[in-house]
Structure 1
Amino acid sequence: MASRPWHGRARRALLVALVTASVALPVSGAARPAAVAAPATAAPAPLGTAETSLLDARYAAGRQEIRAALDMAARHGDRRRASALTSMAGPGRTFLMFDGREGGRSVEVFGELPRARRIAVVVPGAGVDLDHYGRLRRGAEALLGELGDGSAVVAWLGYRTPAMLGPSSLTAGRADEAAPRLRAFLRELVDAVPAARVSLLCHSYGSVVCARAASGLDVADIVLYGSPGTGAGSAAALRTRATVWAGLGGDDWIAAIPHTALRLPFVTVGFGTDPTAPEFGAEAFDAGDAGHSDYLRPGSVSLRSIAGIVAGTAGSPHA
């Protein structure tokens, strides 16, 4: 009998979380994009090293895949997807990978990867897909501008993100699918640019993805921001040598979401401990007054803090 009040509180807390997300997040994040027609894609050739010729070949293959998806979207009369793909196919865009199916997956490079001394890999959260790619791109460009010369930013939309409005954003299923892909990409990246300092930036549901992939990653930092939790009870539970950082903006609605995990017979709902809580054990960084989608906003406190982490100038852990 004693366990019933606890279970009741947990269920009510998760109901509050779902209702809050439904109110706070735009209806445009609904799971429409998975229905958009797109051609099957070829597996990209191994990067090997970040030599210009190899990168150019990968970028050319990415453009070819985007144009094929654009042609199909236009034939099907999907103006929204066609508009997004037209932008992606524009001059100067550099994609290491592209797949237009199931809402879309892509890996875009900002900056000069072969000469980069520091690289940030940005992993987005729920609701980011090809139709809403602009916000991910704008954040990556702002971060590159803050970092300056000798830097590169990689926007890793390498997984089927959960819909903003739906149960998939409250469970780790999509993160479990994504984690092997993220690990494989980071191994390829580190092998290609071995002298670079690599940081993994994980926004919102992306922090669940990063947590699932964290063990054994050869990265300097794992940065969690706007996180609903990671599914791990502590930074130590991530089993990583990287410094784990966490920040939460003062205007981020996710602060109102209860950090709990309800274990049901076939699934766990919710992601547990808040990474910014002292008991989690992450290094805190100043996120200022960032809203949930504003952490990489130009001129913001959070952008400067995250750039400092990527550059390795944010201070020694536990200082």
Structure 2
Amino acid sequence: MSVRTRGTRLRRGVLAAMITAALCGPVPAAAQPRTPAPAPAALPDLPAATLDVRYTANRGNIAEAADMAEAAGDGQRERALRGLAASGRHFLSFDGRGEGRAVEVLGDLATAERIAVMVPGADTTLDTFDGPSSRIGGAARSLYEQIRRQAPGTRTAVVAWLGYAAPKTISTDVLTTGRAEDGARELRGFVSSVERLNSGARVSLMCHSYGTVVCSRAARGLAVADIAVYGSPGTAADSLAEWGTTARVWAGRGERDWIAHVPNASISVLGTTIGFGADPTSRDFGARAFATGDAGHSDYLAPDSVSLKNLARIALGDAWAVTGG
């Protein structure tokens, strides 16, 4: 048996073990009764003049959802929502039902020259939205602050986009593109609405973990300047050419990221493709490498990190300043 054949069988064996773990692992809180929440607020379309109206309506909707969570005895959800409803926070959309969806804006979306949209991976819900830079809300704040330090004269906005139902890590959903396909449709619609709102802005996508699959499925023909993928398990493509994008695509993986041990393979099981194929950080894939230092899977937006500084450069369009992997 050749070395290549043994390697292929090993990757498929590891992938099969992952499938077993996903099928047989403990079922997370999603299987428990849902915490009640109001329907999303009725919102106007997205011209610049309506941004404040949307922000105010969503703040009220979040506060109402927090009251309902309190009444239902869900302290974790209530605490999370009270934080999101704080004065000065701006949510472009919010849906407190189920695991929830939320899109937060930092900066002025209508006048920004550069807009970075952050697309999170598995286990991202309203309960895990806020917190340190390992979570989508904290990551967006970290990137926004870094951009302002590196380019204080540039008008920027950063969007924490929880606009899809992210899969659970222990689930079969995290091994297939189903949730990513749904997320890609939502992401394409969101980017189109941003383009209508601010046609002069240069938009970039910052995509983490399973979010890299979402971005790859959304990329074809999308009006974005740059796409950065990091901590990726694969993007459901064998090469960048399959993405159908003219954007500059960047890929990075930290030295301590456990995702490196996930096999870059895919197999068909009962008509469903499991796994996400080629490693986007490999030389043959075709993406531009960016340095990430010793980042772990949740550390890419950590303050003062190599990866954060490079992601800020990518968001700013400073390709010449990005250090290589």
TM-score, length-normalised on structure 2? 0.89
Deviation at 1:35?
2.5
Counterparts in 2 of 1:110-125, with a 5 A limit? 110-125=106-121
1:131 equivalent in structure 2: 127
1:312 aligns with 2:317: yes
1:147 equivalent in structure 2: 147
Choose 37-46 or 122-131, whichever is displaced more: 37-46
Deviation at 1:19?
7.8
Give the gaps of 5 or more residues in structure 2: none
Choose 27-36 or 145-154, whichever is displaced more: 27-36
C-alpha separation between the residues in 1 aligned to 2:28 and 2:115? Answer: 29
Return the letter of the residue paired with 1:287.
T
1:39 equivalent in structure 2: 38
1:82 aligns with 2:78: yes
2:242 equivalent in structure 1: 237
1:153-193, Cα deviation, whole Å (9 max, x unpaired): 00000001101211111111111111111100000001111
1:279 equivalent in structure 2: 284
1:298 equivalent in structure 2: 303
Contact 2:22–2:171 (Cα < 8 Å) also in 1:
no
Deviation at 1:314?
2.3
Choose 257-266 or 137-146, whichever is displaced more: 257-266
2:228 is aligned, of 215, 223, 226, to 223
Count matched residues: 310
* SS state at 1:245 partner: strand
Return the letter of the residue paired with 1:40.
A
1:165 aligns with 2:161: no
C-alpha separation between the residues in 1 aligned to 2:27 and 2:159? Answer: 25
Deviation at 1:303?
0.2
1:264 is aligned, of 262, 266, 269, to 269
* SS state at 2:320 partner: coil
Choose 192-201 or 30-39, whichever is displaced more: 30-39
User: Quick one: percent identity of the two aligned structures?
Assistant: 48
Return the letter of the residue paired with 1:36.
T
Deviation at 1:43?
5.3
Deviation at 1:63?
1.1
Deviation at 1:115?
2.5
1:27-50, Cα deviation, whole Å (9 max, x unpaired): 9975368822222224532102x2
C-alpha separation between the residues in 2 aligned to 1:310 and 1:253? Answer: 25
Contact 1:29–1:164 (Cα < 8 Å) also in 2:
no
Contact 1:10–1:262 (Cα < 8 Å) also in 2:
no
Contact 2:120–2:162 (Cα < 8 Å) also in 1:
yes
C-alpha separation between the residues in 1 aligned to 2:95 and 2:290? Answer: 34
1:96 equivalent in structure 2: 92
C-alpha separation between the residues in 2 aligned to 1:133 and 1:228? Answer: 21
Deviation at 1:241?
1.0
1:210 equivalent in structure 2: 215
C-alpha separation between the residues in 2 aligned to 1:239 and 1:32? Answer: 37
1:108 aligns with 2:104: yes
Contact 2:27–2:170 (Cα < 8 Å) also in 1:
no
